[in-house]
Structure 1
Amino acid sequence: MKKLLTAAFSAALLFMAGCADSDTGAVKDTTESFLKAEHEGNLDEATKYLTGDATDMFESREDMRADLKGYEDQGVSNETLDQFVDAQIKAYTMVWEDSKIDDVQVGDDTATVLVTTKGIGMKDWENMTTSGLSAEVGSQWMDDNMSRIEEYKSSHTEEEYMAWYLDQVVPVYAQELVSRLDAEPRQTTNYRFSLEKTGDGWKISNVEIGTLEESDDQ
Structure 2
Amino acid sequence: MTPTAPPPPREALAYLRAKGYKIAWDYRDLWKEEHVRAFTVAKAMTQELLMEIRQAVDAALAEGKTFKQFQDELEPLLGKRGWLGKVLMEDGAMIELGTPRRLKIIYDTHMRTARAAGQWVRIERNKAALPYLRYGLGPSREHRLQHVQWEGLILPVDAPFWDTHLPPNGWGCRCRVRQMTERQASQRGGVSEAPEKKPLFGKTGVLAKWKKCR
Is this a same-fold pair by TM over 0.5?
Answer: no
Structure with the higher fraction of residues in helix conformation? 1
The higher radius of gyration belongs to 1
Higher relative contact order by CA 8 Å / sep ≥ 6: 1 or 2? 1
Using structure 1 for the length normalisation, give the TM-score: 0.23
TM-score, structure 2 length as denominator?
0.23
